A and B are shown apart, each in its own frame.
Chain A
Amino acid sequence: MITGVAALGMGLAVIGAGLGIGNVGSKAMESIARQPEAVGDIRSNMILMAALVEGAALIAIVMCYLVA
């Protein structure tokens, strides 16, 4: 029972991270299209933001793993 709930929690965390990283990626692509000369700055900031979003999801996933 608790394993199933934990697995569900992992899935929910991944949905959240997917939405977050998808948003970061889409906005970054948009801004690169608007301003191609700023591609270097945008790229490194995009990766930084994606990594921060991922961090929150990772903590949730590890919590789920520890509960299961």
Chain B
Amino acid sequence: MRKILLTFCCVLSLCFLAFAQGHEGHDHSHDGHSHSTEAHDSHGTHGCFEEGSHEFNPGNTAFHHISDQNVFSIGPWQLPLPCILYAKDSGKWDFFSSGKFHPDGHGVGEFAYNKYVLFEGMVHRVKDAGFPDGHIELGHHMVQEVEVEGEKKVYVCYEGEKYEALYKSTADGGLFGGGVTNFFDFSLTKNVISMFVVFLLLGWMFIRIANMYKKREGQAPKGIQSLIEPVFIFIQDEVAKPFLGHKWEVYLPYLMALFFSILGLNLFGQIPFLGNANVTGNLAFTAVLAIFTFLVVNLSGNKHYWEHTLWMPGVPAWLKLFILTPVEILGLFIKPLTLMLRLFANITAGHMVLVIFVGLIFVFAQGNWGGVLGTSVGSGLLTIFMMSIELLVAFIQAFVFTILTASYIGAATEEAHH
């Protein structure tokens, strides 16, 4: 049990680093002053923004809901989270609560703080150096996304002028709107907080169960023991023992840590209206898990494993040199890559499908009550169906990650038979 806890702590701390990580980017200086020309033709009710740009886009909404956020939304409430931000140009650190942005129901901040603004729950930073520092009131809906020449950009409206704001760059490699930027975000975001909560819960649960086993030795399991014991025994007997042979006990803590942390996070993300944190659907998180598996597999690989990977016996040298060895070396990296992508894609797809089913209500029922009722019932049923499928997927993906890790470790540690 102590080994499992230790592995949990390692996974936790490394994941936190991965989330917080940003990377250097270069500024596009040529569009830095575009706001001043556009500001002259500003009219309409939303200050600098044109009206009629509020068309509902289910794909966009889904992406916004699955991405990490700087507020924790429980039902209609937006709980503030701590922001730890570093601006590259001024070299200044900022520590404050995201409650300073006064986010509305959609997570759009009504205040700016030291050039930082909140858009759809995510911190952005104004690019222009002329934007004033300090705590500034912007007003309702003064941070908006505008499409400029086919590219979506976030603009802040302050005193009738538009300022471009940049998103943090993330370990997603800019896949979800990251990319070039002017600040680093080390905040405790929604994903990080959910991870802490789940790992603390799991830690508490496993310590309790371990104590119960010590106290009630030789007796039948009771309470939470009887919930976990069959799952634990299942992973031990169906995954660890058949794949790892006589060395199963060495790798059991790692497999259990993987299984229960993935399962816990998958299930926590499925609770409706409780933040819906998409931790296992975050590439940074799954990448860390995959890197751990890569390290465990390759560090425990024996002589035969490396021989059959790099210079397999009984094959002509030219074939090895030009085809087999390069393919095997690629295979070393493709295995953890597919582990990473599989977990990420399955969980993300599940979350997106749920949001899109709910979004169908807003697509089909444009203001008439019959349509609203009809589509609400329809997508409600569809959503319940999808959620039950997702519960299954939560178990299957945790199991698949564990069993594949076990089979890779098993292949790397197998003794020669010839």
Residues of chain A whose beta carbon lies under 8 Å from any beta carbon of chain B: 40, 44, 47-48, 51, 54-56, 58-59, 61-62
A40 near B238: Cβ-Cβ < 8 Å: yes
**8 sample A-B contacts, Cβ–Cβ < 8 Å, listed by A number:** A44-B238, A44-B239, A44-B242, A47-B400, A51-B342, A51-B403, A55-B341, A61-B345
The answer to whether A58 touches B238, judged by C-beta atoms less than 8 angstroms apart, is no
Residues on B with C-beta less than 8 A from A47 are 396, 399-400, 403
> A54 contacts which of B238, B242, B334, B342 (Cβ < 8 Å)?
B342
Residues 240-260 (chain B) with a chain A CB within 8 angstroms: 242
A59 near B396 with CB under 8 A, answer no
- B410: shortest Cβ distance to chain A, in Å? 11
Q: Shortest Cβ distance from B58 into chain A, in angstroms?
A: 17
Q: Mark B378-407, 1 if CB is under 8 A from A, else 0.
A: 000000000000000000100110011001
Q: A44 — which chain B residues lie within 8 A by C-beta?
A: 238-239, 242, 403
* Interchain CA distance A51-B343 in the complex, whole Å: 10
Whole-angstrom CA separation of A1 from B392 in the bound complex: 37
- Contacts A44-B242, A51-B403, A58-B342 known; list 6 others, CB within 8 Å: A44-B238, A48-B400, A48-B403, A51-B342, A58-B341, A61-B345
Q: What's the interface size class on B, roughly?
A: 10 to 19
Which 10 pairs across A and B sit closest by C-beta, in order of nearness?
A: A55-B338, A51-B400, A58-B341, A44-B238, A58-B345, A48-B403, A58-B342, A62-B341, A47-B400, A51-B404
User: Which of chain B's residues have a CB closer than 8 A to the CB of A59?
Assistant: 334, 337-338, 341
| Distance from B145 Cβ to chain A, minimum over Cβ atoms (Å) | 20
Complex CA–CA separation, A61 to B338 (angstroms): 11
Main secondary structure of the interface of B (DSSP, over half): helix
How many angstroms from the CA of A48 to the CA of B407 in the assembled complex? 9
Which of A40, A51, A58, A59 counts the most chain B CB atoms within 10 A? A51
Name the residue among B239, B337, B338 with the largest chain A CB count within 10 angstroms.
Answer: B338
Digit string of B324-340 for contact with A (CB within 8 Å is 1, else 0)?
Answer: 00000000001001100
CB distance from B343 to the nearest CB of A (A): 10
Question: How near does chain B come to A14, taking the closest CB pair, in angstroms?
Answer: 11
CB B400 to nearest CB in A, in angstroms, measures 4
**Residues of chain A contacted by B342 (CB below 8 angstroms):** 51, 54-55, 58
User: For A58, what are the chain B residues with a Cβ–Cβ distance below 8 Å?
Assistant: 338, 341-342, 345
Give A50's nearest chain B residue, CB to CB.
B400
B404 to A, closest residue via Cβ = A51
The closest CB in chain A to the CB of B403 belongs to A48
- Residue on B with the closest CB to A48? B403
Chain A nearest CB, measured from B110 CB (Å)? 35
Closest chain-A Cβ to B177's Cβ sits at a distance in Å of 14
Bound Cα distance A47, B337 (Å): 18
- List A contacts of B399 (CB < 8 A): 47
Which B residue sits closest to A54, measured CB to CB?
A: B342
CA distance A59 to B333 in the complex (A): 12
